[in-house]
Amino acid sequence: MRSAGRLAVGLGAALGTAPAWADHPGGLRSDAWSPLTAALVFGGLALIVGAIVVVVVAIFTRREDASPK
């Protein structure tokens, strides 16, 4: 019963804040960029972040060489 109450409160909070992300004029709106430019910039950023994640995972999962040299 407690988890259902928490879920209801969380859902209510999420739905209550949803209109805040609407397209408001002002500082959050970028009329200067075309949709193609925005897609290319954010696609490039996503590619860079993905590459960084792959490099970090490769570093952390690197195996030590057990054979003596």
Model confidence, pTM: 0.48
Percent of the chain with pLDDT over 90: 35
Buried-exposed string 38-54: b where 16+ CB fall within 10 A, e elsewhere: eeeeeeeeeeeeeeeee
Map out the domains of the chain as residue ranges: 33-63
Instruction: Give φ, ψ of 33 to 5 degrees.
Output: -95, 140
Residues 6+ away with beta carbon under 8 Å from 58: none
Percent of the chain with pLDDT over 70: 65
Query: Per-residue pLDDT tens for 31-53?
Result: 677 889 989 999 999 999 999 99
Angle at 31 between CA 16 and CA 26, to 5 degrees: 45
Site of tokens 């195996």: 63
